[in-house]
Structure 1
Amino acid sequence: MSFPEEASRREGPGHFPAKIHQKLFNDKYEIIRKLGYGPRSSTWLVWRKSDDRYFAVKIYTIAASTRAEEVEIPILQSVGKFRWRPPYLSLKDSFWERAYNGSHFCIITSFLSTTVEDLRLEEETHKLPVDVVQRVVYCVCKALKELHGANIMHGAVNAGNVYFSTGTMRPKLDSEDRPSTTKIGKFYTVASQPLKHRFRWRDKTDFVSEWPLHLVNLGHGTSPQKSKFKPEPGNDYLSAPETLSQNPSVSPKTDMWQLGCMILKLLTGSNPPFIGGDDAYSRLASIQAALGDGSTKSIEALLVDVLDKRDAAEAAGFIRDCLRLDPSRRLTADQALRHMWLADANLG
């Protein structure tokens, strides 16, 4: 029997024990390969014989399945009603699948390739060029504008949730290695094989500005049916000040804080130092010391070692407006899209 490479003890009952060519949902879908995994789910490429089409199925752990059905599905259904319908956030199907260890909730969406975080880690210094980061931010803000306009908070804006599409309707599988398994302890695990794409961090700016990037994974989102946004227990909001108070809160502006932190990490190769700390009080003190005067100096100081003076100053201005201590003073996604720093980030 195959076990996923991501089996976790911390999240309660584990991942779905899938096998290649296993049939799902009364034989409607067939598993072709494993695309990846996370602490609460694994993702697989599946084939639907009835119309010869390929999709991605996200199969949740038993522990995460109920929340996925109750929280993520209503958000995905709301996204499906958008005037501009993000293709890779569109829900195609959902169902429960039973395994020997219990029932797992599954959602079907379009398949994607690898993430911007994977691209960052491919680079030796773990940093990305300014034009690449600008394109990433533009695509993220475009998705956030739609989500926030529908009163939906994403809740997990980071480079690991920004994916490349492959640019094809059918995955190119014939030229790639066949799925494989690896023995870990006494179990055999199916190895992940993300779909490849043709984009590289050294691409020319004109090409970068057409990259097909998509903010996905609404598993940490807040449903629009709720009258009030509430922090999700255990979620990492990157020390957004509003989450560190005695009465923590979140809102779509928390997404913008996460966006600012993501930009700093992509440009410098590491998380902002002012979000660290052993407790909420020390983290908040660190943030206030670094950003409390509302200037760009502390942010620019983090950038001058990796960017020229002009690029550092321009990027720092944008980041500062995402990292305002007062959430009401942060950029909205719509304002970010019209910011001068993103003027050349979209040609496609």
Structure 2
Amino acid sequence: MDRSTRNSLNTNKRSGQADTPNEFQPSTPGSSRFRYQLIEDVEDLGGYCPGGYHPLKVGDDLDEGRYRIVDKLGYGGYSTIWLARDLRRARYVTVKVLTAYSSAHTTEAKIMRSIQARRLVRAKRLFRFSSMNSGLPAPMEDTNVSQHLVQFPESINNYSTPEPYNKFGEPRSETVIRVDYMPFSDGVPAQVYIPGWYGIRSNDLPLGKDHIILGDFGQSFNPHTTSIFSSKTLPHLQPPETRFSDKPLSFPSDIWTLACTIWEVYGQRPFFEVFWATADRVATEQVEALGILPPEWWTK
């Protein structure tokens, strides 16, 4: 599940072009995230605003009644992810609901189509629907985009809707409370859901029976056609060129992040372990571990 860092939209001074964001852009000045009582393990409640998250609850129907929301699976900086029952095909699917703003700017669907033939990821079906948080003027921004892809064992499709609750537990929700006791704005849900868990422990997974799926391409881009100069990867995974180079990011940046990720998986701790990561602290860790940066970067 995607947990991208909350980087703000800003104009890239080197290229004269704005970075293309994949997260909501609140329509009113200032942050609204501190209006609500903190609820852990859920999306930023300030994101329920024009251009932001679509409020969903268990039992809601999407795509003209085809998909019924069963439980929440996760969330990111620009989407929420849900377990749903495809009533037409009698199977369970995951549904990724993008924010209204990001649905107009994301290149994820285009990337998915370009790599689908290579069998790197399973096909997704996309559909659009109106949302009370779709408050932006452009036609593409008047809708949210939802995607689904099947990632569950086939046996789960034999369960009727109540049966997964018996095996994995009932959906858990928390009431949303405004700390200033003011009325809720339109588009803010009365309750939010804690992501459920529908997997098995790694120690219980038979060797060779694991099945890895590449399923999140929200930040993906084609460096041959798109110039990106900033990274929304977690700060301790970002390569130094995201800060010091004037050139757009490309495949070497992916190799750096992949290497750091592999290290973290095998070593069970990050290679660059920074508490409350900032650009300066991450750069310090990089230099301490690998030595002084190349001269053209070191002078910066």
TM-score scaled by length of structure 2: 0.63
Q: Which amino acid aligns with 1:178?
A: E
2:288 and 2:43 map into 1 onto residues whose CA distance is: 39
Is the CA contact 1:94–1:105 (under 8 Å) kept in the aligned structure 2?
Answer: no
Q: CA deviation at 1:211?
A: 1.4
Q: CA deviation at 1:177?
A: 2.7
| Structure 1 position 80 matched with structure 2 position 116 | yes
2:94 and 2:158 map into 1 onto residues whose CA distance is: 11
Q: Which residue is equivalent to 1:270?
A: 269
Q: Which residue is equivalent to 1:243?
A: 242
Q: Which residue is equivalent to 1:300?
A: none
Question: Aligned runs of 1:251-330 on 2, under 5 Å?
Answer: 251-273=250-272, 278-279=278-279, 283-284=282-283, 286-292=285-291
2:116 and 2:158 map into 1 onto residues whose CA distance is: 24
Which of 52, 55, 59 does residue 21 from structure 1 map onto?
Answer: 59
Q: CA deviation at 1:38?
A: 1.5
Q: Which residue is equivalent to 1:188?
A: 190
SS across alignment from 2:157: coil
Rate the CA distance shift 1:284–1:248 in 2: closer, same or farther, 3 A: farther
Q: Which residue is equivalent to 1:298?
A: none
| Structure 1 position 198 matched with structure 2 position 200 | yes
| Structure 1 position 38 matched with structure 2 position 37 | no
Q: Which residue is equivalent to 1:161?
A: none
Q: CA deviation at 1:48?
A: 2.3
CA RMSD of superposed structures (Å) = 3.4
Q: Which amino acid aligns with 1:185?
A: I
| Structure 1 position 178 matched with structure 2 position 214 | no
Is the CA contact 2:176–2:192 (under 8 Å) kept in the aligned structure 1?
Answer: no
Q: Percent identity?
A: 20
Rate the CA distance shift 1:183–1:171 in 2: closer, same or farther, 3 A: farther
Q: Which residue is equivalent to 1:6?
A: 43
TM-score scaled by length of structure 1: 0.56
CA displacement 1:58-89 (0-9 Å, x = unmatched): 11122322122xx111001112222x3433xx
Q: Which residue is equivalent to 2:126?
A: 94
2:69 and 2:241 map into 1 onto residues whose CA distance is: 42
Q: Which residue is equivalent to 1:231?
A: 229
SS across alignment from 1:107: strand
Rate the CA distance shift 1:209–1:255 in 2: closer, same or farther, 3 A: farther
Q: Which amino acid aligns with 1:192?
A: I
Q: Which amino acid aligns with 2:109?
A: I
Is the CA contact 1:171–1:195 (under 8 Å) kept in the aligned structure 2?
Answer: no
Q: CA deviation at 1:11?
A: 9.0
Question: Aligned runs of 1:100-111 on 2, under 5 Å?
Answer: 100-102=132-134, 103-111=142-150
Is the CA contact 2:53–2:133 (under 8 Å) kept in the aligned structure 1?
Answer: no
SS across alignment from 2:174: strand
Rate the CA distance shift 1:193–1:242 in 2: closer, same or farther, 3 A: closer
SS across alignment from 1:218: coil
Higher helix proportion (structure 1 or 2): 1
**Residues paired across the two proteins, number:** 230
Q: Greater CA deviation, 32-41 or 248-257?
A: 248-257
Is the CA contact 1:275–1:283 (under 8 Å) kept in the aligned structure 2?
Answer: yes
2:233 and 2:48 map into 1 onto residues whose CA distance is: 13
Is the CA contact 1:30–1:46 (under 8 Å) kept in the aligned structure 2?
Answer: yes
Q: Which amino acid aligns with 1:259?
A: L
2:73 and 2:284 map into 1 onto residues whose CA distance is: 41
2:86 and 2:66 map into 1 onto residues whose CA distance is: 6
Is the CA contact 1:179–1:190 (under 8 Å) kept in the aligned structure 2?
Answer: no
Q: Which amino acid aligns with 2:131?
A: A
Q: CA deviation at 1:203?
A: 4.8
Q: Which residue is equivalent to 1:137?
A: none
Q: Which amino acid aligns with 1:231?
A: F
Is the CA contact 1:16–1:61 (under 8 Å) kept in the aligned structure 2?
Answer: yes
List alignment gaps of at least 5 residues for structure 1: 113-164, 294-323, 326-348
**Deviating 4+ runs (over 6 angstroms):** 274-277
Q: Greater CA deviation, 263-272 or 55-64?
A: 263-272
Q: CA deviation at 1:37?
A: 1.2
SS across alignment from 2:249: coil
Rate the CA distance shift 1:179–1:286 in 2: closer, same or farther, 3 A: closer
